[in-house]
Structure 1
Amino acid sequence: MLDLLSGLAAPRLAELAAAHLPDAPAPVDRRELAAALMDPATVTGTVAVLSLPELQVAEALSLRAAGTRRTDLAHLLGVPAGDADLSLVLGRLEWHALAWPDEGWIRTAPIHEVIVGGYGFGPSARIELAQLPLDRLQRIAYNLDAPVGRDRAGLLDGICAALADAATVRAAFAAAPEATRDLLLSIADEPFYFDPRQMGALRTNRPTPLRWAVDHGLVMWNPAGMAAVLPSEVGVVLREGFRADFDPAPPLQVPVEVSAEMVRRDGAAAVRVALAQVTALLETCGREPVPMLKDGGVGTRELRRLGKAIGGDPLDMRLWLTLAGVSGLIGVTDNRVAPSAYYDDWLKLDPPAQYGELLTAWLVMDAAPLDTGAPALLRTERDEAVSVLRRSLVSLLNGLPDGYALPSLDGINALQMYMRPLLTGPEPQEAYPTTAMLWRELELMGVGALHAPTGLCRALAAEAGLDGTPRHPALRAELERLIPAAQRTVLLQSDLTAVATGAPAASLAALLDLTADRESRGGGHTWRFSEASVRRAFDRGSSAEELLAALREAATGGRVPQPLQYLVTDLARRHGALRVRPVACVLRSDDPALLAELPRVRSLAGLGLTELAPTVYASVLPVAETLAALRAAGYAPAGEHADGTIAFDRVTKHRVLPSHPDQDRS
């Protein structure tokens, strides 16, 4: 691995680290990166995302831990040594840092530790040899003519290198006694061998056919275990007629012609609807935070309520909520979902930038929001796999030429199974629900339409880096083509409506949402002014002059229709004619002079007394506290009921039922 990395430039090393170690600290140098890439955990993650032919070749390579000759690999796969498809797949495995060429050999990362028992073979010799004592290793190395004068690691490398060479294994087999050859052939298809008599002979070092095979590394046996094992390096040679599967061509799916204009139209419409619904959802959550279930997530009832509020499908609400969450636009407080502080900054972006952030988060999010098996915003086991499958589907769709689509969702599912077999599962009916779920996401996001790629799909595929994160320039250009610039003005009409033909700027939307009620959103936005909506603006502190000035600035042509002007000025004249103030209690007296002196008493300043009438004053404190303050100041007030009768203080005497200890005994 270190030899492979030594020939790579810094940008390629950075790509490898980003692709295979996204959550790990950046390796300091090639040696650290090599160690990380050789970690079985890293190899496991990489193998999981291989396509079918890549996985098939990796499985064939896993049979020999120390590497495989290119000619032996081609023979095993049933293709010529120079086969172009094999070269292409090996190039992809090298790109994944799983395999690389080395003077006629193909060296590998520890795939043998991840893919074990492939095609019914036993585990690799390296796995079994690691458990043997040093003297046993030295004996095997000597019999295989491998270097003996080494440390334990060197012995392991030497033995595995010898067994990886098919010619060495054939020579050892040919030199074996006839009884040993018969035994080896009998267990070639059953790698685990157990015979009590043979096991007993091994423990006493008696010469037997099995003992010869063990001493020459053709069979592995650990005294601590029960059975002997035919390692995969030997098994693959003894099964002379065996051929591993190799399917370099994807399942045939003949593309069908589709109207490019319809694809463009449907994709663009989906983008505008998606942005409008996410915005509306966030506004709704801001007005009334969404309660979460006791065990977490947002339940079906709330999803239906949200869908009804913004005119969308409750199932789609799952995607919009998740998108808002992974974009940092919502958070949870007191077990309720509400917009985050970042939401206000997001609103200030122009619509293409807003949707760009949503799309970026969607492409790489580890979430399956349309999986109805769990509440919305609750993680499920399939989330991480879905992230890879989503990007795979975008890549798959991008491979179609313009004006063509895949014939059906079944065809898309078949290709997804070919692209990511370990993530989809081996059976079409097992993979189909996830494929259908992801295709619905692509349609909702405007990335796919009519089983064909949209321009947004092209931009995503072209701009996505190795880690799947879209880079913005080309994506931004496509979004600006799809989403009109934010409307800075609005058409004010005589029927007291305001119409914006595109998405309104944040400041314009804020003004209209304050002064009018929104009636529709989507491609166009409509608001209606009413007494109640204009009163709302006055209640927030606006004056008629300020409101009309703001509306003139926002109006197309700078003109406010006369009916709207009249509504604003008439309501402004009446607004506040009747005032309501909070009062904790009132003080009443038939002696105005007595009441008039109270505000001048310093000790009563905390009552915040206000004259309502010559004989009535208001206090900011409740009755009991006001009475106590007046009495402390030397006055003799009395409480009063609402009907005007005096409220006398009564002493409360507490009583309880008697206890009977004898009755409590059991």
Structure 2
Amino acid sequence: MSTVAITFADELRARSDDDLELIFQYRPDLVSPVPNDFSSLAARATSTPSLVRALDSLNMWHYQIIEAACVLPEPFKKSELVSVTSEESTFALDYLWQMGLLYKEGNNFRTPTNLKLLIGDEPAGLGPQSSGKVDFTKLKDVPKSSADVLAKLTWGPPRGSITNIKKPGTAIGWLLDNNILVALDSHTVALPREFGIKLRQGKVHKELITTAPALTGKEVAQKQIDLAAIANISTILRWCEELLHNLSDEPPTALRTGGIGVRDLKKIAEHLGVDEACAGFVAELCYLGGLVVVDSDDQILPTSAFDIWLTKPAEERWYSLAVLWLDTSRVSGLIGKVIDKNIAPLGPELDRAGVSLIKRTTLKVLLENPKISPEMKSIQEVVKWWNPQRVNSDFIEWNLREAEWIGITGQGGISTFGSNLLNASELLGVEAALPKPVDHILIQADNSAVAPGPLTAELSAEMGTIADIESRGGATVYRFSEASIRRGLDHGKTGEQIKTFLSKTSKTPMPQPLDYLIADVAKRHGRLRVGSAHTYIRCEDEGLVQQILHDKKCEHLRLRKIASQVLVTELELPEVINELREYGYLPAAENASGVLLSQPNLRRAKSRPKPPRIISEFTAPKASVVLAAVKTIRAGERSRKVEPIVAGTSSNETLALINQYIDEQRTLVISYADNNGGVSNRIIEPISISLGTLTARDETTGEIAQFRIPRINGVAPSLTILENKADLDL
């Protein structure tokens, strides 16, 4: 004779170990941490956060079945659910029961209360349940005008607005008089759920979508996808490197909320040669990897981790960023959008729940459809079927765009490198596919230089110091200018060192205009010196001092002349230097002793890397973890049942009994006082006693633990207690 389960906890107790293992596999959050007993498991499984995660894992078909279950009066039979859905729902019903989203009461089913609240008051667009008796025969006599009103309400939303419930009009008035519509308030009427299902021909949904729609798109050869992807991988690594070097040279000041301001983001985008959306994504990627941080003085600077990252192979550098992008809950696509305020990169407003789930689902669809560059609408529909609760068309579009930038896809299709990453392959194939770095450049007559491929790390760093990147592609074009040469001088180079470097590196001779440009900038560099007084400006050329003092563009610096060759200001040294350079002067910094500061400007944050937390999804637990969880809950349940029965024993009796059970290798229950004074029963397997401490295996956790003998209030064999408990129950 079957036992009727009254509560969800009772129903869980009646499940087999195999069924419990399934609920943990389908809902991994239930084992983190493992509940103490079935009451705790039931409370966890029906809590709102856990139910939200469970609903997120459902596809469209399973979600529709849950909606149908929430529509039916409880408890409902399997046949009742099938009648409002389809015969195929039998399979879905078993799966949803195994997940713990439904539970049994005899041969019937119930849904947790919190689940109904999450689904909402109008599941599948159906209205509230009727409070009175429903008479379907009245539907045969509905006038045409009233039938038009019903047609609009049948498939939802089931509510309609009217001006005044006392004067509803002929069509609505007839429906109200015959109880086919009900008044929710003085301005709202609704179609009761029972009439809605009847008008839907006895079904809850117009169409049950049992399978995902087919993905449509353009077919692309895998070789072309991989070529595009490896170019993207090379580019994203270069963007990250250029961004961090740029932040070292000219660190922006963070907003109060911690993000990068609009103007600073625009400067970074111009430096990288990309739009601001892409620049924001690159900044976020570096932030995820702990390569950049907002320092204690609010300056945004690279961390020491950047220097370590640069020494790693390209494949390892790419993997360290790509794997974090897969799991992050931050949405770079929101950068620049105005919600309550403008959303900035590195700011706290980018987190969105469920983004990682949508991202992985999107990539899973691409993985299952290789060599396909999908149409945007098509992939949005497919992802919506897999994640009906979390779908956001913008998020899918942004995820695909970022996957292309990072090189997981190429020309829209999943790349070999992306497939290897998603399948957790040991070798990704990136290192072998990247083009070999070159160790030379070709200087042109127009003060530019062409790198015919990716430069070696050392050469790229040197070129980045003395030249600006003008265009990118298979070859990179660098442009030499007064500002770029001055930057090289600031990094400790001399004019002769720059010339020597270019002569050795270039396979073409250095043109005369570039030679003159380097010599001219080097001659003028450092004539004007800026130091801290609060800040002072000194120059042996008194004419230049007078020029700056009377320059209207410099008025806001509030300069004051204190000697024929010295000016002072209250502003900070970095700000004064940047302003003077912007107005065409070429100052150099000096220390308090007057020594020119022209060492390499490798600025790094003093703060340790503070990457944003990853709000990742729970992953399927290992089989060993699941088995241990089932054993723990069973043991905890037995401990809970015997709790009131362990009798107190004296110290001598306690020691005697424990030694006896050690010799007999019997399981026993102890009443044990914890550090806070609370007393609980513990089922243990005693091993040994030493120095007033009992060493035993705790059956609840399966781990070896130690128990202080003075804290043991009582001892009894677990089998005897269970038998006594059974006698009491009888």
Calculate the TM-score normalised by the size of structure 1: 0.54
Aligned equivalents of 1:539, 1:238: Cα separation in 2: 81
CA positional deviation for 1:309:
0.7
Letter in 1 for 2:366: L
Which among 384, 403, 406 is matched to residue 417 of structure 1?
384
Q: Deviations over 1:32-89 (max 9, x none)?
A: 666433323210233245322121112223357977544443233122xxx3x75268
Letter in 1 for 2:291: L
Aligned equivalents of 2:67, 2:212: Cα separation in 1: 18
Which among 78, 82, 85 is matched to residue 77 of structure 1?
85
* Conservation of the 8 A alpha-carbon contact between 1:494 and 1:561: yes
Q: Is the aligned partner of 1:435 residue 2:396?
A: yes
Structure 1 residues 236, 433: CA separation in 2 closer, same or farther (over 3 Å shift)? closer
Q: Is the aligned partner of 1:98 residue 2:105?
A: no
CA positional deviation for 1:186:
5.1
Aligned-partner SS, 1:343: helix
Structure 1 residues 4, 279: CA separation in 2 closer, same or farther (over 3 Å shift)? farther
Letter in 2 for 1:61: A
Structure 1 residues 548, 6: CA separation in 2 closer, same or farther (over 3 Å shift)? farther
Q: Is the aligned partner of 1:185 residue 2:134?
A: yes
Aligned equivalents of 1:582, 1:435: Cα separation in 2: 51
Aligned-partner SS, 2:333: coil
Aligned-partner SS, 1:50: coil
Letter in 1 for 2:317: Q
Structure 1 residues 44, 337: CA separation in 2 closer, same or farther (over 3 Å shift)? same
Aligned-partner SS, 1:396: helix
| Counterpart position of 2:365 | 396
Q: Is the aligned partner of 1:297 residue 2:264?
A: no
| Counterpart position of 2:168 | none
Structure 1 residues 240, 540: CA separation in 2 closer, same or farther (over 3 Å shift)? closer
Which among 49, 55, 74 is matched to residue 41 of structure 1?
49
Aligned residues: 457
| Counterpart position of 2:440 | 491
Q: Deviations over 1:522-557 (max 9, x none)?
A: 6555668999989987876789999999999x989x
Letter in 2 for 1:366: S
Aligned equivalents of 2:119, 2:133: Cα separation in 1: 23
| Counterpart position of 2:328 | 365
Structure 1 residues 240, 281: CA separation in 2 closer, same or farther (over 3 Å shift)? closer
Aligned equivalents of 1:254, 1:584: Cα separation in 2: 65
Aligned equivalents of 2:452, 2:251: Cα separation in 1: 29
Structure 1 residues 382, 517: CA separation in 2 closer, same or farther (over 3 Å shift)? closer
- Bigger relative contact order, structure 1 or 2 (CA pairs below 8 A, ≥6 apart): 2
RMSD, matched Cα: 5.4
1:377-396 correspondence to structure 2 within 5 Å:
377=345, 378-380=347-349, 383-396=352-365
Structure 1 residues 583, 419: CA separation in 2 closer, same or farther (over 3 Å shift)? closer
| Counterpart position of 1:340 | 303
| Counterpart position of 1:353 | 316
CA positional deviation for 1:316:
0.8
Letter in 2 for 1:422: Q
Letter in 1 for 2:17: S
| Counterpart position of 2:708 | none
Aligned equivalents of 2:434, 2:116: Cα separation in 1: 50
* Conservation of the 8 A alpha-carbon contact between 1:491 and 1:499: no
Identity over aligned pairs, percent: 20
Aligned-partner SS, 2:308: helix
Q: Is the aligned partner of 1:317 residue 2:284?
A: no
Letter in 2 for 1:26: P
| Counterpart position of 2:68 | 60
Which among 451, 458, 483 is matched to residue 419 of structure 2?
458
Aligned equivalents of 2:431, 2:127: Cα separation in 1: 56
CA positional deviation for 1:355:
1.4
CA positional deviation for 1:331:
1.3
* Conservation of the 8 A alpha-carbon contact between 1:300 and 1:375: no
Calculate the TM-score normalised by the size of structure 2: 0.50
CA positional deviation for 1:297:
3.2
| Counterpart position of 2:431 | 480
Aligned equivalents of 2:131, 2:394: Cα separation in 1: 50
Q: Is the aligned partner of 1:26 residue 2:37?
A: no
* Conservation of the 8 A alpha-carbon contact between 1:498 and 1:527: yes
Structure 1 residues 104, 524: CA separation in 2 closer, same or farther (over 3 Å shift)? farther
Runs of 5+ consecutive residues of structure 1 not aligned to the other structure: 124-180, 191-230, 425-430, 464-472, 586-640, 645-666
* Conservation of the 8 A alpha-carbon contact between 2:77 and 2:108: yes
Which among 318, 330, 343 is matched to residue 375 of structure 1?
343
Q: Is the aligned partner of 1:111 residue 2:111?
A: no
* Conservation of the 8 A alpha-carbon contact between 2:435 and 2:454: yes
Aligned equivalents of 1:3, 1:339: Cα separation in 2: 57
Aligned-partner SS, 2:300: strand
| Counterpart position of 2:245 | 283
CA positional deviation for 1:512:
5.2
- State which structure, 1 or 2, has the greater radius of gyration over its C-alpha atoms: 1
Q: Deviations over 1:321-342 (max 9, x none)?
A: 2222222222113333222232
Which of the two has greater helix per residue?
Answer: 1
